[in-house]
Structure 1
C-alpha cells in the first residue's frame, strides 16, 4: 500500500517565490537598481528566467511584488497611551522609513503593482488598529479616511513628487489638523 504524503505547506511554488524574492532583495542591496535584470535574479535564485516571466510577467511586476511583501508591517503600531501619541509615532516612523532611498524605491515599485489599493489597505489597517485602541475612551475619533487623506496622502505625495519629504514639523501640523 502506498503512503500518501499530506500537502506541504507552501510547497514548491512558495519556495520558488521566496527564493526569487530573496535574490531580488539581495541584488537590489548589492548593486545599482538599473543593473538588476531578470536573468541576474534567476541565476541568483536558482531558477530559469522563464520561471520569472511566467509568474510575474516582467521585471517591474516582480519588483512591485517584492515591494508589496516588504511593506507588510512586522508589528502593530506603537502604543504610547494616547491617540495623538500613537498617530504621531506611526506617522514619524512611516515618514522616516519611506523617505529613505530604499523606501522611495519601494513606493515607486508598488505603483507598478497589479494590486491597486493594497497600500491603502496596509496604511489603513495600521491606522485602524490605533483608532480601535481608543474607541471606548469616550473621545470623538477621526474617521479612517480623514487620517489617510490628511496625513498619509500628503506624506506619500511629498516623498514621491517633491524635492524633499515633509519636515517633521509639517507632519505634526497635519496630525493636529487631522485630530481637530
Structure 2
C-alpha cells in the first residue's frame, strides 16, 4: 500500500518513469516512424522494465494516446488576454510553436496513425480532438461572456488549426508569425468579431 502511494505521489518515481517513457516514444517516432518499434524498445530507451510499461498502459496504443494527450495539455496553455483577438492570436502562436517544436511533428503523426489502429486507436484520436475542442470552447465561451461575437470551435479548426497542421505535416511552408496572424485575420473577418457586437472593430 505504501509503495502504491509513493508511486502516485506527484513528482515521485511514477512521474519520472512517465516522463522518460514519453520521451522515448517521441524519440522513436521521430527516428523510425509509427509502427516501427515495440514496447520493449520503448522500455529499453526509457531505462525501465517492459513489464512496468505494460502494467501502467496495457499496450502500445494506450501509451501513444497518453503521450498525445499529455503533449497537448502541457504545451497548449489557454491564454486569457482580455479579448478574443488577443486570445486567438496567442493561442495560434502557441500551437504553431508546439507543432514545430522538437517532437511536434511526431505527435501529429501519432494522432493520424492511431486513427487506423482499430477501436483503441480511434478512441485515442477522438480523445485528442475532444481535448483540443474543449480548450477552444473554453476560450470562445469566455469571449461570449464578455459580450464578444466569437466564431465556433469548428471555424477555428478549419481556418487556423488545419492550415498549420497541413503545412507541418507536408512541409509546404514555415509557420511564420505573419502567416499565423493572417490565418486569425481571415477567421475574424469571416467568422466573428473580436469586439462586442455594438463596438466597431478597430483597425490593426
Normalised TM-score (structure 1): 0.73
Does the Cα contact within 8 Å between 2:39 and 2:53 map onto a contact in 1? no
Residue number in structure 2 paired with 1:22: 19
The alpha-carbon distance between structure 1 residues 61 and 112, as it changes in their structure 2 partners (threshold 3 A), is: farther
Candidates 37, 48, 52, aligned match of 2:51: 48
CA distance in 2, matches of 1:151, 1:75: 14
Runs (5+) with no aligned partner, structure 1? none
Give the CA deviation at 1:92. Answer: 0.2
Residue number in structure 2 paired with 1:125: 134
Candidates 179, 184, 188, aligned match of 1:179: 188
Runs (5+) with no aligned partner, structure 2? 115-120, 190-204
Give the CA deviation at 1:71. Answer: 1.8
Does the Cα contact within 8 Å between 1:64 and 1:112 map onto a contact in 2? no
Q: Does 1:164 pair with 2:167? A: no
Q: Does 1:142 pair with 2:140? A: no
Residue number in structure 2 paired with 1:97: 98
Which has the higher mean CA deviation after the structures are superposed, 131-140 or 62-71? 62-71
The alpha-carbon distance between structure 1 residues 139 and 88, as it changes in their structure 2 partners (threshold 3 A), is: same
Deviations 1:106-165 (A, max 9, x none): 111222331232332222222212112121333322112111111111111111122333
Does the Cα contact within 8 Å between 1:97 and 1:103 map onto a contact in 2? yes
CA distance in 1, matches of 2:93, 2:75: 16
Residue number in structure 1 paired with 2:31: 33
CA distance in 1, matches of 2:131, 2:65: 15
